[in-house]
């Protein structure tokens, strides 16, 4: 998995599924098992464990990787297994008023990060992993490095944050200078950059925009590092803000990204532009946000809305009233 540069989270997930698969079959070696054992395990996940289709597909992907890449086994039989279909769900989108209410319940660093999620359409980890060099205040842009799928992209920086970020970055710089004096100030660098540029891990451009509050010691090098703020800090803060704002939607951090795309569509932004800002490979993924842009689903006006235009119905006449002698 590391030879193929899979993300650490993918590595952790695949490893866990492989262990569960082996334990489920009484710790038999995977080379002794085949389609029957894999089908039985995946069926148990769906019928007994009641996992979602995406969870079942993740387990299948881990086992495909195990047999194809690790054991180098001919797995033509594995390719024919039926993958569970994910249900089509619509994203949770907040209105502009609701977004303002949520942000109004936040303060400090969580508020800056949440505003960046909504104002730039970032994912939670994309926001947490931003470095100083990725923020361009003059060009009004944010560079997202190694995002989902290992792709870089450029998105916009709200004018609101161009006014508020400088003060935050100045406090981060002061903290970094104190770390340097204390013999710390290191950050983790991607790939082998730490060996290529030994001093880069203490340079200002490589520091995190949202650093953690504590320092840790690297067990391999002995250097005192500061990690970026953990994403759960922001997730908990946003969840609490949604509750305090009395919003009756199951909204979280990713809802701010959904709201970013939906509100851009409502303001007339081209969907291809939104696709690039979000980093979607396929425009069909971006098309899901069109469901709230129209006047109700499918652009249809409810017949109940016509009642307010036509006014209340006239009272029914009594039997025989208004009849003539010829009727």
Active-site residue 123, yes or no? Answer: yes
Q: Which entry of 131, 254, 276, 291 is annotated as an active-site residue? A: 254
| CATH fold for domain 8-79 | DNA polymerase; domain 1 (1.10.150)
Active-site residue 254, yes or no? Answer: yes
pLDDT at position 325: 43
- Is there a contact between 120 and 165 (Cβ–Cβ < 8 Å)? no
To the nearest whole percent, how much of the chain has pLDDT over 90?
62
Q: Per-residue pLDDT for 190 more than 90?
A: no
Q: Which one of 104-113, 188-197, 260-269 scores highest in mean pLDDT?
A: 104-113
- Is there a contact between 123 and 147 (Cβ–Cβ < 8 Å)? yes
Q: Which distant-in-sequence residues (6+ apart) come within 8 Å of 119 by Cβ?
A: 156, 157, 158, 160, 161, 260
Q: Which entry of 176, 228, 257, 263 is annotated as an active-site residue? A: 257
Active-site residue 145, yes or no? Answer: no
Q: Per-residue pLDDT for 312 more than 80?
A: no
Active-site residue 25, yes or no? Answer: no
Q: Which entry of 41, 118, 123, 176 is annotated as an active-site residue? A: 123
Once rounded to an integer, what is the mean pLDDT over residues 3-22?
93
Q: Per-residue pLDDT for 297 more than 70?
A: no
On average, the pLDDT of the chain sits at 88
pLDDT at position 288: 85
307-to-80, 228, 300, 311, 316 alpha-carbon distances in Å? 55, 56, 15, 6, 17
Active-site residue 176, yes or no? Answer: no
Residue with tokens 């002698």: 325
Nearest to 226 by CA among 168, 177, 166, 170: 177
Token pair of 111 as six digits: 């508020």
Nearest to 276 by CA among 170, 141, 110: 141
Q: Which one of 39-43, 248-252, 298-302 scores highest in mean pLDDT?
A: 248-252
Nearest to 285 by CA among 88, 96, 58: 88
Compute how many other C-beta atoms are within 10 angstroms of the C-beta atom of residue 131: 17
What are the boundaries of each domain within the chain?
8-79, 89-298
pLDDT at position 146: 86
Active-site residue 257, yes or no? Answer: yes
The model carries a pTM of 0.79
Q: Per-residue pLDDT for 83 more than 70?
A: no
| CATH fold for domain 89-298 | hpI Integrase; Chain A (1.10.443)
Once rounded to an integer, what is the mean pLDDT over residues 92-114?
95
Q: How far apart are CA 144 and CA 255, in angstroms?
A: 19
Point out the least confidently predicted range of 88-92, 132-136, 179-183: 88-92
Point out the least confidently predicted range of 161-170, 290-299, 308-317: 308-317
Dihedral sign computed on CA atoms, order 185, 188, 189, 195? positive
Nearest to 98 by CA among 263, 307, 232, 235: 263
Point out the least confidently predicted range of 70-74, 128-132, 134-138: 70-74
240: left (phi over 0), alpha (psi -120 to 50) or beta: alpha
Token pair of 292 as six digits: 């709230």
Helix (H) or strand (E) holding 153: strand 153-156
Once rounded to an integer, what is the mean pLDDT over residues 179-205?
91
- Is there a contact between 247 and 94 (Cβ–Cβ < 8 Å)? yes
Q: Per-residue pLDDT for 63 more than 90?
A: yes
Q: Per-residue pLDDT for 295 more than 80?
A: no
Q: How far apart are CA 107 and CA 64, in angstroms?
A: 45
């Amino acid at each position: 998995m590391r030879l193929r540069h899979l993300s650490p989270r993918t590595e952790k997930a695949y490893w866990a599924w492989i262990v569960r698969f082996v334990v489920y079959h009484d710790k038999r070696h995977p080379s002794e098992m085949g389609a029957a054992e894999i089908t039985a395990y995946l069926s148990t996940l769906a019928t007994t464990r009641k996992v979602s289709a995406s969870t079942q597909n993740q387990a299948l992907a881990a086992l495909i990787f195990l047999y194809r890449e690790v054991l180098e086994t001919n797995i033509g039989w594995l390719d024919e297994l039926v993958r569970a279909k994910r249900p089509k769900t619509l994203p949770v989108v907040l209105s502009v008023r609701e977004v303002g209410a949520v942000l109004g319940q936040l303060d400090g660093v969580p508020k800056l990060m949440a505003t960046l999620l909504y104002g730039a359409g970032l994912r939670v980890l994309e926001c947490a992993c931003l470095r100083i060099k990725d923020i361009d205040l003059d060009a009004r842009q944010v560079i997202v490095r190694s995002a989902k799928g290992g792709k870089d992209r450029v998105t916009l920086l709200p004018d609101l944050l161009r006014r508020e970020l400088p003060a935050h970055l100045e406090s981060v710089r002061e903290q970094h200078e104190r770390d340097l004096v204390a013999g710390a100030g290191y950050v983790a660098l991607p790939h082998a950059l730490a060996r290529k540029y030994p001093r880069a891990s203490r340079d200002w451009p490589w520091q995190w925009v949202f650093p953690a509050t504590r320092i840790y010691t690297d067990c391999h090098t002995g250097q005192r590092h500061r990690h970026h703020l953990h994403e759960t800090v922001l997730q908990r803060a946003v969840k609490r803000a949604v509750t305090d704002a009395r919003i009756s939607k199951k909204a979280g951090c990713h809802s701010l990204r959904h709201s970013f795309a939906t509100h851009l569509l409502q303001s007339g932004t081209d969907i291809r532009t939104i696709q690039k800002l979000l980093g979607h490979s396929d425009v069909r993924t971006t098309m899901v946000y069109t469901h709230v842009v129209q006047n109700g689903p499918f652009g249809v006006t409810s017949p109940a809305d016509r009642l307010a235009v036509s006014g209340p119905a006239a009272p029914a006449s009594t039997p025989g009233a208004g009849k003539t002698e010829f009727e």
